[in-house]
């Protein structure tokens, strides 16, 4: 059940990508990249519609996990820095999930343990936000 209309959710998405200077111009994307982007955007917009994801006054996404677990506190995704990317360097070559969680933890000023305990439906939203920043 949607708490916010699709139109308003799309406007919030646009406000988010503009505030964070995220390039969403699909004209220069390959078909695979367009498909991936549209899937990511759709996941984020649906979370905004449900009310689990809000865009704060700074244009930052704030996600509240919906599936319970140990921690259902809101998580703010701040604009990544070079340190966010460097967090991946601390992980091994074949530890892609640990690298992703390290970046997510740095961006949210939390710990990677929060994401490792998260239910998959919540984790997919957090990953979508992260992937938009890293694209």
Burial, 47: exposed, middle or buried (Cβ in 10 Å; 0-12, 13-18, 19+)?
buried
Q: What is the average per-residue pLDDT within 99-103?
A: 90
Q: Specify the range with the lowest mean pLDDT, choosing from 43-52, 63-72, 104-113.
A: 63-72
- What's the average model confidence in pLDDT over 26-32? 91
Considering only 31-40, 56-65, 86-95, 122-131, which range has the smallest mean pLDDT? Answer: 86-95
What are the angstrom distances between the C-alpha of 130 and each of 49, 58, 103, 105?
A: 19, 17, 8, 10
Cβ atoms of 89 and 79 within 8 Å: the answer is no
Q: For residue 96, what pLDDT is reported?
A: 82
CA nearest neighbour of 39 among 134, 125, 97, 133:
125
| Interatomic CA distance for residues 102 and 93, integer angstroms | 14
| Token pair of 109 as six digits | 């000023």
Are 44 and 129 in contact by the 8 Å Cβ rule? The answer is yes
Could you tell me the pTM of the whole model?
A: 0.90
Q: Terminus-to-terminus CA distance in the chain, angstroms?
A: 30
Q: What is the pLDDT of residue 89?
A: 73
Q: What is the pLDDT of residues 66-94, one digit of tens each?
A: 986 556 899 999 999 988 888 777 666 66
**C-alpha distance from residue 33 to each of 25, 36, 42, 81, 85 (Å):** 11, 5, 14, 24, 21
């Amino acid at each position: 059940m949607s708490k916010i209309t699709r139109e308003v959710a799309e406007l919030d998405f646009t406000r988010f990508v503009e505030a964070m200077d995220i390039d969403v111009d699909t004209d220069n994307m390959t078909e695979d990249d367009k498909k991936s982007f549209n899937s990511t955007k759709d996941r984020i917009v649906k979370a905004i519609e449900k009310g689990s994801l809000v865009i704060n006054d700074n244009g930052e996404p704030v996600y509240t996990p919906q599936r319970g677990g140990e921690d259902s506190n809101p998580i703010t995704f701040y604009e990544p820095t070079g340190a966010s990317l460097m967090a991946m360097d601390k992980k091994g070559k074949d530890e892609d999930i640990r690298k992703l969680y390290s970046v997510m933890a740095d961006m949210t000023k939390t710990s990677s343990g929060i994401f490792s305990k998260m239910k998959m439906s919540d984790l997919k939203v957090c990953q979508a936000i992260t992937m938009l920043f890293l694209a």
